[in-house]
Structure 1
Amino acid sequence: MARCTLACIPIMLAACGGGGGGSNLPVLFPTPAPTSTPPPAPAPAPVASAQEKCTAFAGASLAGASLKDAKLLAATADSAEYCKVTGTLHGTLNFEVHLPTAWNNKLLYSGGGGWDGSINITPISPSGSTAGYVLVASDGGRQGDALDASVFLNNSTAQADFGYLSIHSVNEVTKEIVRQRYGSDAAFSYFEGCSNGGREALIQATRFPNDFDGIVVRAPAYSFTELFQAFVANGKALAAPGGQLSDAKASLIGNTVTAQCDALDGIADGIVSNQAACTFDPAVLRCTAGDAETCLTDQQIATAKTIYSELKRADSTSVYPGWGPGGENLGWPLWVTGSAIGGTGLQFMFGSGLVKYWVTGEPAFNVLGFDPELYSPGLRLAATTLDATPDLRSFFGQGGKMILAHGTNDWAISYKGSIKYFNDVATAVGGASTRDASMEFFLQPGVQHCSGGVGPDTVDLVDAVVKWREGGAKPSAQSIVAKKLDPATKAATLARPLCRYPTFPKYKGSGDVNSADSYSCQGS
């Protein structure tokens, strides 16, 4: 008999007659019991379109903010498709967020200017490196003229928002918006700001060091209370009998500085690049035979010296380092003398706002009679809200990278103030080597406030800080070139290497004077 497997056992038992006696053969493969047909798999949920994802924000409440509007804007020659979201916090702090449909997993927050009051979301960097970023900007917690400080009178909310809180508050809301839109946080977050935006950048780095991975700081008004005291001092000098300076006098001074210092960088090209070697004394222009447009009276020399000199307190401690010479013909009519805007310079306007609405609390106060010594408690209190410190230890400790840049012909905020801040950072963090591992500083020869002037004012520092934070390449090792662009064609008319302080672009002695290749970064 053939060997039987276990499968044969039921068949054999049935053949032995142990069943009911019928003649039917056993069934080798019984028919399975009928079963129900399984239900079809559910259809996948429809994927929301970019339009639907955008409009979902309109009218929503998120992270304590009220989102007012959300619109998907089509791609243009200048930008890709993005969703524009606007919102507000506690009714007075307005913000705007641009959510690109094609996101690069990065965020860039742009700082404000003046006393804020409007939303300027377009970053300063002009080279297109911000394509794909979530872009954010806010108005500092107030709406209106950037010269008007009246909202701060006895208004602690407005003071706190403008002073230190608005950027951080909006950034927290933006994080939630980003999570809702993309399902994840930004891999890297960056900040760029100039002037008051530069102050905001340093406020973020010192008060909220974990908010941003990399920060670009341009011409920062980091010490509002000290800078604005210098503004008032300059205004007093101009208002003194005989102290006024006409446009012709400003041009006389600016042309004299250029003639004296231009060639100190190896080439007479209209740009003073070796600023450290430029020592100008306005007394060389003293009138010898009565007042004339070709000379300065003693009172006018005194005014110029006040502007250039360090401002000190009664006890001889320093308040503000003063301004360096150069570019007076372009900068003074707007910022110092005010001839370009009706006769009062922007310096004195800003200084008056601080005195009237923040320090004295008296809107009718005669600012020309302001004595900082009498109001030192109020100035110190204002500084606790407005001023940024040089202590960047926490920001550096979490891997943050910072680029500081300042134009040498800036008549709003002195580049000497940025030099002082850079040096103070070294003291605060334990030495220059610790500072330099996470921060680099660049002077921009011939550049006025944030942009403009005779020097190359166009340079993409956002791209530079991104490469440093994400790839480890220091800006000074990236061979960054600054350019001057033709306003109409946007073509570069001249270029210079961006030189790490304290070096400057020095002409090599041959080659095209408008080409960056003809210059190298050298010390004085």
Structure 2
Amino acid sequence: MKAPHAPRFRYATSQRLRLTIPALLALAAAEPTLAASCAELNGAQIPAAAIALPTSGAKVTAATLAPGGGSAPQTFGPYCDLSVEIAPIDRSAPNIRMRIVLPEQWNSKAMMYGGGGYNGTVPNVAGNVPAGPVDQPTPLGRGYAVFASDSGHVANPLNPGDFAWNEEALANYGHDALKKTRDTAMYLIEQRYGQPPVHSYFAGGSTGGREALAVVQQWPTDFHGAIVLYPAYNAAALDLQFGRITRALAALGAYPSLEKRSALLEASMQACDGLDGVRDRVISNQAACNAQFDPATAKLNGRPLRCPDGADTGSNCLSDAQISALKVFDTPIRFSQPLASGERGYPGFNTWGTDLGRPGEGLQAIVNRLGLNTLQPDYPMPVHGTGFAEGAPYHSGFWDEWVRYFVTRNPAFNSLTLDPANLGPWQARVDALSLRQDVNQTDLSAFVANGGKILMAHGTSDQLVSTRATADYYRRVQQDMGVGQTRRFMRYYEIPGYAHAASTVFNAAWDSLSALENWVELGIAPKRQVVTDTVAVPGRTRPLCEYPGWPKYKRRGDVNDASSFVCVKSHQGRH
């Protein structure tokens, strides 16, 4: 795909490549070498041979030298902003749209961002890593070349799963687009600066967290480190759990209103908040709460949370049908036969103490959409507004899209009729999807041999990706590679009160990138990591505890200061 008058570029191999890493970083920051100007990159062709997976090559469709911007301390200098399209093999498949920003003052590093949900939009490459702190520069502000893609399709707001009609688009979403995007970015970085990055990192949450683990597992020498938040790593298994929960909530009288969910959260707080040594509206000893809280016997302000005789008689109590549905949320699904990926089921969620939705605006409205939303699941799946996230629970819309476009490829199919635990005639199709969507390899030795490090974190109040699933993956890695070896390259933290990307209980901010840089580049392992709340009590801090630890109050000191807590371990109940 060579266009006429395409600019010629040189691969620079110079004395700079033979410098030590610290000297190279210092030189790059002080005197960036620009092998090609931003304008010269406009219209540039990236040959298919430069991309390891099959494509028809790529092309820079726009190149703009942008001025610096941002607000202190998250300012950034001038950068070259490139829009790129990677052409498919199948002409009916969509292009992969990507964006890469190349700062004038380059630090010789690269950062790739993952997506979210069904993808379909290019993430903000000038923004921060997931749960990044507002008092530290973004990767672009630090001098990183930053890039991301839409994973190979443009999202349809009403039906974000409909791209799966096309096999190449589906494969790109599975994980192929990650490699294609990365290789294209590396080509352009070399053209711009005359050399490849010294260090490359990946950061993502949810689907982006799955993508972070995908690149670590599939292409272990491409990245030196990964920031992995609330990863939907076993996505096919998760989709099936979504279906189980959706079917339970769709039962007659089973869907709890916002007011009822608010009552459940308050009852959970009254029962479990003090289990960590202090009543601060954050349940830190989640395992103990899971073990002892039962909505059927719980109290709210001294009165039973269960409605009298189990009937639906008020907004401050739960009926038996609602309690039954919520207990489905709390418990695992077990498949009648293992998926081809090896997954045998999917755990329940930390339902008790999680904000599943309550009356409110602003951030609360976002939390509501990611929780149980405002409409009961039904056929067709109810929506209002402009997208499937407006109406039925987010996970119900996700399940419905997956069944209609990924599994059956029948837009009229009633997803409530498919039994996620007993797939019957759909078993083979779901098996095939699991091989594309589940990234559950636990032998990460090739990544470790390349010096790779992983920082993984998950909020205990996540309502879309189960914290228990992430803990299970971490334990699998420990079992496969050994506890000691795992700790040499990986950390897993659980953040009490943090939900799926946003929380009104404890909205976490963590300087994970500095911790990862120090570990990879300087050999300084993470110690005494701290997470900061940005919403409920802005500025309060808690220690990040290595799993299975949780922060217990010392019974003295400022309850809003991390130094007043100590990390303890507990194996009580379900994690």
TM-score tier after normalising by the smaller chain length: 0.7 to 0.9
Counterpart selection for 2:465 from 413, 428, 445: 413
> Shift of residue 318 of structure 1?
4.3
Q: Is residue 143 of structure 2 the alignment partner of residue 97 of structure 1? A: no
Partner of 2:399: 351
CA deviation string 1:429-459 (max 9, x = no partner): 3x22222211110001101102323114111
Distance 2:390 2:107 in 1: 46
Counterpart selection for 2:117 from 111, 114, 118: 114
Counterpart selection for 1:440 from 491, 498, 507: 491
Distance 1:111 1:305 in 2: 32
> Shift of residue 293 of structure 1?
2.2
Q: Is residue 406 of structure 2 the alignment partner of residue 366 of structure 1? A: no
Task: Please tell me the residue identity of whatever aligns with 1:75.
Answer: G
Distance 2:32 2:477 in 1: 49
Distance 2:450 2:184 in 1: 22
Q: Tell me the SS of whatever aligns to 2:494.
A: strand
Q: Is residue 311 of structure 2 the alignment partner of residue 327 of structure 1? A: no
Counterpart selection for 1:287 from 288, 307, 319: 307
> Shift of residue 357 of structure 1?
0.8
Distance 1:61 1:369 in 2: 48
Partner of 1:54: 38
Task: Please tell me the residue identity of whatever aligns with 2:83.
Answer: T
Partner of 1:9: none
Q: Tell me the SS of whatever aligns to 1:210.
A: coil
Alignment check: 8 A CA contact 2:203 2:227 kept: yes
Partner of 1:227: 238
> Shift of residue 287 of structure 1?
2.2
Distance 1:465 1:233 in 2: 37
Counterpart selection for 1:123 from 109, 125, 128: 128
Partner of 1:29: none
Do the aligned partners of residues 147 and 502 (structure 1) sit closer, same or farther apart at CA in structure 2, a change above 3 Å counting? farther
CA deviation string 1:359-390 (max 9, x = no partner): 11211110000123212211110011111023
Alignment check: 8 A CA contact 1:390 1:428 kept: no
Q: Is residue 319 of structure 2 the alignment partner of residue 297 of structure 1? A: yes
Unaligned runs of 5+ in 2: 1-30, 48-56, 88-93, 298-304, 359-366, 376-388, 571-575
Q: Tell me the SS of whatever aligns to 1:380.
A: helix
Distance 1:209 1:342 in 2: 38
Distance 1:329 1:65 in 2: 43
Alignment check: 8 A CA contact 1:119 1:137 kept: yes
Kindly report which structure 2 residues correspond to 1:12-91, keeping only aligned pairs within 5 A, or say none: 53-63=37-47, 64-76=57-69, 77=71, 78-90=75-87
CA deviation string 1:90-142 (max 9, x = no partner): 16101111101111111111110011011112232232152100111110101
Q: Which runs of structure 1 show a deviation greater than 6 angstroms over 4 or more consecutive aligned residues?
A: 47-52
Do the aligned partners of residues 86 and 133 (structure 1) sit closer, same or farther apart at CA in structure 2, a change above 3 Å counting? same
> Shift of residue 519 of structure 1?
1.5
Partner of 2:219: 208
Q: Tell me the SS of whatever aligns to 2:253.
A: coil
> Shift of residue 169 of structure 1?
0.7
> Shift of residue 498 of structure 1?
1.2
Task: Please tell me the residue identity of whatever aligns with 1:85.
Answer: L
CA deviation string 1:250-278 (max 9, x = no partner): 11111111111111111100001111211
Compare 123-132 and 72-81 and name the one that shifted more.
123-132
Q: Tell me the SS of whatever aligns to 1:148.
A: coil
Alignment check: 8 A CA contact 1:142 1:151 kept: no
CA deviation string 1:145-170 (max 9, x = no partner): 46734443431110111101111111
CA deviation string 1:43-78 (max 9, x = no partner): xxxx99979711111111123210011111111242
> Shift of residue 523 of structure 1?
1.8
Distance 1:242 1:49 in 2: 66
Do the aligned partners of residues 519 and 117 (structure 1) sit closer, same or farther apart at CA in structure 2, a change above 3 Å counting? same
Alignment check: 8 A CA contact 1:163 1:386 kept: yes
Do the aligned partners of residues 302 and 501 (structure 1) sit closer, same or farther apart at CA in structure 2, a change above 3 Å counting? same
Task: Please tell me the residue identity of whatever aligns with 1:469.
Answer: V
Kindly report which structure 2 residues correspond to 1:180-259, keeping only aligned pairs within 5 A, or say none: 180-259=191-270
Task: Please tell me the residue identity of whatever aligns with 1:84.
Answer: D
> Shift of residue 240 of structure 1?
0.6
Partner of 1:480: 529
Distance 2:544 2:32 in 1: 46
Partner of 2:505: 454
Partner of 2:450: 398
Distance 2:494 2:84 in 1: 37
> Shift of residue 330 of structure 1?
3.8
Distance 2:498 2:287 in 1: 15
Alignment check: 8 A CA contact 1:451 1:458 kept: no
Task: Tell me how many residue pairs correspond in the alignment.
Answer: 472
Distance 1:147 1:295 in 2: 34
Q: Tell me the SS of whatever aligns to 1:162.
A: helix
Q: Is residue 373 of structure 2 the alignment partner of residue 338 of structure 1? A: yes
Counterpart selection for 2:433 from 382, 392, 398: 382
Q: Percent identity?
A: 32
Distance 2:430 2:441 in 1: 19
Q: Tell me the SS of whatever aligns to 2:540.
A: strand
Compare 161-170 and 372-381 and name the one that shifted more.
372-381
> Shift of residue 492 of structure 1?
4.3
Alignment check: 8 A CA contact 1:97 1:174 kept: yes
